[in-house]
Amino acid sequence: MQKGKIGVTTDNIFPVIKKFLYSDHEIFLRELVSNAIDASQKIKTLSSVGEFKGELGELNVKVTIDKDKGTLTVSDNGIGMTAEDIDKYINQIAFSGAEEFINKYKDNANAIIGHFGLGFYSAFMVSKKVEIRTLSYKESSKAVSWTCDGSPEFEMTEIEKDSRGTDIILYIDDENKDFLEQSKIDGLLKKYCKFLPVPVISGKVQEWKDGKYVDTDKDNIINATAPLWTKKPADLTDKDYIDFYHELMPGQEDPLFWIHLNVDFPFTLTGILYFPKIHSNFDINRNKIQLYCNQVFVTDSVEGVVPEFLTLLQGVIDSPDIPLNVSRSYLQSDGNVKKISSHITKKVASRLEDISKNSPKEFEEKWNDIKVFIEYGMLTNEKFCESALKFALLENTDNKFYKIEDYKKLIEGNQTDKEGNIVLLYSTDKDAQYSYINAATNKGYDVLYMNGQLDPHIVGLLESKIEKSRLVRVDSDTIDNLIKKEDNKEANISTLERNISTTLFKSQIPAIEKSEFIVAFQALTPSDSPILITQNEFMRRMKEMSAMQPGMNFYGELPDSYNLTLNTEHPIVKKVITNANDAIGNEINPLEAELEEVNKDIAKLNDLKKDNKELGDDDKKKLTDAESKAEEIRNKEKDIISKYADNQATVKQLVDIALLGNGLLKGEALNNFLKRSIELL
């Protein structure tokens, strides 16, 4: 018998392992099973190259619980170890600066274990004693037992063992008795070993007999040793992919699309990514991509390995080039991992492009389901965006789909303004913006339907990506101004009429919280609406954006600014303007003349203030006097106009109809409108 000290520089590493690795205890099982799988794969390789000439037998890994003895055993019939092997691989854990490192990474058991090659030693996280019983494949080797109770001392003796391979026997300590429960072990094996390449056996298959479950003779095999992603895409059917998806993600609807990744240069990567069917944006779940390293489950949080927008997908990625036992920050800075990330992006994009080319109908049908993934990708990943511009679809208000390039061609002729900008009209709400959409389609314009959650951002993106383009919401201006083809016809209206009408209409707009109205005049055609409320595209977008991102509050605080545009060519408007002029023009006219004089004075005095000059006391007084005079005249005008307006049901009616068309007429104002409408009948 040999006694010795494990080659660690720190006096006693095990208490440290136990203490710091507490939260990740369970990975000991993954480590031991992985070692057993490696040993099995190695013997297979040796056999195939003729270095091992014996009987290979059926390779498998067994996990056995003995409750009476309090042991958990991981057995394999792999290459086994000689006493020298144990000395070399188990006894000499060479490392330096252990404590420092462990303190740094104490929250990340993976990092510690990987760093020191402590895979095997993780057994001590749950054991008071560990025994290795092993027989090497090498001819005439002797079986050995190695035991260690968690102190740096071990014992090694020769033993009787006929069969090739290794048993790792864990004497589970008192705090970890739950690892002696079959259900717990089965659960862990399912988590970490579901797709390992060698059968992993855990207990027996059970059957229901005489009112309880009893073991049968059949081994309970945990894993599918050749999971779908390791197979050739050409050998697989849609059903295979869909079935595999359900196995991975139980309880989900069929996926929309999938992408089988199969790369062997410049790194090795396989995997299958699925576009899940989601019902609402609340459904979006990240962390549904599982990361494997040679079929060993590593993690299901893949940030850093796949680009952020693809973490919305589901599936598996397997790469031996993804370091198994490292911390997340290390993973993210790893060169290989970065390459993998950009490669996956490329793959996903080209697969989507293929589908859009080869099955355009299917792509259209599923567009609304995958749109959120693609738009998110376009907004967050420059490279993906460039590719996606080729296959992303635009939907119009008639539910027709177009590729961006095709859509551009469709509208170019009719929807280019006098500056040569191509104008894409869009609606965010087909009902609320019905009359505007109607006005646009009557002019032969096409209107896009953009009501998605990310569409406000996509609007800006499209503008920057489509050369010389502008996107405007259909209700952001009058139809002629949306796509200005020529200079507007001057509204045929005198200054006096303009001033009277402005105040007249303004006085009839009910107070609406956080809203501001500007009255404008435009000579549309007589058949266009007499009155129209529009909301400036730029201001609305600013507000929308700031609502989405806290911190950009300036625009969010501003009131909504609307234009109330009067169509001076419309007979009713014409009549209202003339009538008002006839009725109160005589009263207003002298006031206007007076106001003009006062305003001239004010302008003169303000001129003196130019270049930051202080006004003399005399001038200061003159200015305040003039300003209050102007105010007084305006108030007089307002009084006259309001009094007149009181009896002008047509004006009230026009204003209310315009408000109603924009969903702005509510509460008491709406009630008044209804009452007035009935009276007019």
37 interacts with ligand ADP by CB under 6 A: no
CB count in 10 Å sphere of residue 258:
21
Return the residue of 89, 368, 571, 603 that touches ligand ADP, per CB under 6 A: 89
* DSSP letter, residue 445: -
* Stretch of 76-84, 508-516, 612-620, 672-680 lying at the interface with ligand ADP (CB under 6 A): 76-84
- Provide, rounded to whole angstroms, the least separation between the CB of residue 121 and ligand ADP: 6
36 interacts with ligand ADP by CB under 6 A: yes
- Provide, rounded to whole angstroms, the least separation between the CB of residue 67 and ligand ADP: 23
CB count in 10 Å sphere of residue 260:
19
408-412 contacts, C-beta under 8 A, 24 or more apart: 408/466, 408/469, 410/446, 411/445, 411/446
Query: Looking at beta carbons only, is 37 or 654 nearer to ligand ADP?
Result: 37
Of 23, 25, 40, the closest CA to residue 294 belongs to: 40
84 interacts with ligand ADP by CB under 6 A: no
Query: Looking at beta carbons only, is 119 or 510 nearer to ligand ADP?
Result: 119
Listing from the earlier edge strand, what are the strands of the sheet with 469-473?
447-449, 422-427, 469-473
- Provide, rounded to whole angstroms, the least separation between the CB of residue 2 and ligand ADP: 17
- CA–CA dist 612, 604 (Å, integer): 15
117 interacts with ligand ADP by CB under 6 A: yes
* Stretch of 112-120, 246-254, 314-322, 576-584 lying at the interface with ligand ADP (CB under 6 A): 112-120
33 interacts with ligand ADP by CB under 6 A: no
Torsion sign over Cα 481, 485, 489, 490: positive
- CA–CA dist 514, 544 (Å, integer): 15
Of all residues in the shown chain, the one whose CB is closest to ligand ADP is 119
392 interacts with ligand ADP by CB under 6 A: no
Return the residue of 13, 14, 35, 77 that touches ligand ADP, per CB under 6 A: 35
Interacting positions 92-111 with ligand ADP (CB under 6 A): none
Torsion sign over Cα 193, 308, 109, 87: positive
Q: Which two tokens stand for residue 347?
A: 């793959």
Query: Looking at beta carbons only, is 35 or 356 nearer to ligand ADP?
Result: 35
Return the residue of 8, 13, 71, 119 that touches ligand ADP, per CB under 6 A: 119
- CA–CA dist 577, 464 (Å, integer): 43
Return the residue of 8, 59, 78, 534 that touches ligand ADP, per CB under 6 A: 78
Alpha-carbon dihedral angle through residues 362, 365, 366, 369, given to the nearest 10 degrees: 180
Query: Looking at beta carbons only, is 45 or 451 nearer to ligand ADP?
Result: 45
* Stretch of 3-11, 78-86, 482-490, 499-507 lying at the interface with ligand ADP (CB under 6 A): 78-86
Query: Looking at beta carbons only, is 90 or 447 nearer to ligand ADP?
Result: 90
- Provide, rounded to whole angstroms, the least separation between the CB of residue 79 and ligand ADP: 5
Of 276, 263, 275, 274, the closest CA to residue 343 belongs to: 263
- DSSP alpha helix (H) spans, 149-193: 182-193
CB count in 10 Å sphere of residue 365:
12
- CA–CA dist 507, 574 (Å, integer): 18
Return the residue of 30, 71, 76, 326 that touches ligand ADP, per CB under 6 A: 76
Query: Looking at beta carbons only, is 130 or 664 nearer to ligand ADP?
Result: 130
Query: Looking at beta carbons only, is 40 or 503 nearer to ligand ADP?
Result: 40
Query: Looking at beta carbons only, is 169 or 532 nearer to ligand ADP?
Result: 169
Q: Are the CB atoms for 609 and 634 separated by under 8 Å?
A: no
Q: Which amino acid is at 620?
A: K
Q: Is residue 269 classed as helix, strand or coil in its secondary structure?
A: strand
- Provide, rounded to whole angstroms, the least separation between the CB of residue 352 and ligand ADP: 39
- DSSP alpha helix (H) spans, 381-494: 382-391, 404-412, 434-442, 455-465, 479-482
Interacting positions 140-169 with ligand ADP (CB under 6 A): 166
Is there a cis peptide before residue 360, judged by omega within 30 degrees of 0? no
* DSSP letter, residue 87: I
Residues 39-58: x where in contact with ligand ADP by CB under 6 A, - otherwise, as a string = x-------------------
Q: Are the CB atoms for 43 and 137 separated by under 8 Å?
A: yes
Instruction: Calculate the alpha carbon distances from 365 to 256, 257, 388, 557 in Å.
Output: 10, 12, 17, 40
Query: Looking at beta carbons only, is 60 or 648 nearer to ligand ADP?
Result: 60
Residues that bind ligand ADP (rule: CB under 6 A) add up to a total of 16
- Provide, rounded to whole angstroms, the least separation between the CB of residue 137 and ligand ADP: 10
Query: Looking at beta carbons only, is 41 or 546 nearer to ligand ADP?
Result: 41
- CA–CA dist 224, 53 (Å, integer): 28
- CA–CA dist 319, 265 (Å, integer): 12
- CA–CA dist 522, 499 (Å, integer): 14
Query: Looking at beta carbons only, is 117 or 187 nearer to ligand ADP?
Result: 117
271 interacts with ligand ADP by CB under 6 A: no
Of 526, 469, 496, the closest CA to residue 596 belongs to: 496
Query: Looking at beta carbons only, is 81 or 658 nearer to ligand ADP?
Result: 81
- Provide, rounded to whole angstroms, the least separation between the CB of residue 123 and ligand ADP: 9
* Stretch of 73-81, 180-188, 243-251, 305-313 lying at the interface with ligand ADP (CB under 6 A): 73-81
* Stretch of 28-36, 205-213, 334-342, 587-595 lying at the interface with ligand ADP (CB under 6 A): 28-36
Query: Looking at beta carbons only, is 48 or 635 nearer to ligand ADP?
Result: 48
* Stretch of 113-121, 269-277, 458-466, 550-558 lying at the interface with ligand ADP (CB under 6 A): 113-121
Quote the strand ranges of 536-662, DSSP E.
560-567
Q: Which two tokens stand for residue 62?
A: 């067994």
81 interacts with ligand ADP by CB under 6 A: yes
Instruction: Calculate the alpha carbon distances from 107 to 29, 117, 175, 305 in Å.
Output: 19, 17, 20, 21
* Stretch of 75-83, 472-480, 507-515, 670-678 lying at the interface with ligand ADP (CB under 6 A): 75-83
Place of tokens 């070399």: 88
Query: Looking at beta carbons only, is 57 or 616 nearer to ligand ADP?
Result: 57
Point out which residues bind ligand ADP (CB under 6 A). Answer: 31, 35-36, 39, 76, 78-81, 89-90, 117-120, 166
